[in-house]
Amino acid sequence: MSWLADGVCDPQCLNEECNFDHGDCVEYTIETANSSTAIDTNATGACTSIYNKFSRLTLRIGNMQLQAQYLEDVRTELEIQKQEISDSFDFLEGAYAELDASFQQLQEGQNQLQLDLEQLDAANVILSEEKTDLENAKDQLEIENAAIQILYEQLEDAFVALEVERDSLRVERDQLELDTEALQDETVVLEEEKMQLEQEKAQLQLEKNALSTDKARLENEKTELERERNELRRQKKCSCFRDQ
């Protein structure tokens, strides 16, 4: 029974068809090539002898222990690699989930961007209409500005006229102040004349009262004279009757 690549050169495998026992007989092949000795690969006596079998078995047991240690190391390394692969898989799962979430966000962002673009197009149409309205308003404002300029010039002319009229009014005001002062002087004179007239009126009232008293006295005297005249007439008539 032969073991390929077990660390023991099996003579029956020392050929090119067996790849020189898959590397176990490479050094042996080099040594025999240097010593120029040949090995009969068809000889089976040496391979089937109890001693050789025991020797190969001993070597194979040691090699099996090495292989078991190697396999344990390989298993440990594979476990580590498996854990690393599992961690990498978890990481990739998380990254995939993040990428999927990012893709969803990008999709939503694209949809939102499409909506924003549609809104911007609508806003652009509105802005174009507002621009047209503003241009029309600008033309209207220019017309109104020209009218305001004309009105401003008219106001300036009116302001100049008002300035002239204000100067004229100031002259009239000064003249009125002079007239007022003259009237005040005349008022003082009139007040003095009024007081004098009041005094004369009081004097005339006194004279009137005196005349009224004289008139009443004269009226009494007239009445007395009328009575005396009537009395004389009566007496005269009586004397005539007596003479007859």
Q: What is the DSSP string of 49-79?
A: SHHHHHHHHHHHHHHHHHHHHHHHHHHHHHH
Q: 20 in the Ramachandran plot: left (φ > 0), alpha (ψ -120 to 50) or beta?
A: left
pLDDT exceeds cutoff 70 at 21? no
H and E: helices and strands count for the chain? 4, 0
Alpha-carbon gap, residue 32 to 30, rounded angstroms: 6
Tell me the two tokens of residue 213.
């008293």
The pLDDT, as a whole number, for residue 162 is 93
Please give the pLDDT value at position 41. 44
Residue of higher predicted confidence among 64 and 137: 137
User: At residue 229, what is the residue type?
Assistant: R
- Round the average pLDDT of the chain to a whole number and report it: 79
pLDDT surpasses 50 at 49: no
- The pLDDT, as a whole number, for residue 57 is 54
pTM of this prediction? 0.27
Lowest mean pLDDT, pick from 92-101, 147-156, 183-192:
92-101
pLDDT for 236 equals 78
Highest mean pLDDT among 34-38, 101-105, 140-144: 140-144
Query: Rounded to whole angstroms, how far apart are CA atoms 176 and 167?
Result: 14
Residue 60, Cβ neighbours under 10 Å: how many? 17
What is the rounded average pLDDT of the residues 18-36?
55
Q: How far apart are CA 4 and CA 233, in angstroms?
A: 213
pLDDT for the residue 61: 57
At residue 18, does pLDDT exceed 60? yes
What percent of the chain clears pLDDT 70, i.e. is strictly above it? Answer: 71
CA end-to-end span of the chain: 235
Q: How confident is the model at residue 244 (pLDDT cuts 50, 70, 90)?
A: low
Q: Is the pLDDT of residue 203 over 90?
A: yes
In this predicted model, which residue has the larger pLDDT, 101 or 38? 101
* pLDDT score recorded for residue 147: 93
User: CA–CA separation, 189 vs 12, rounded Å?
Assistant: 172
Output the CA torsion 184→188→193→196 (10° steps): 160
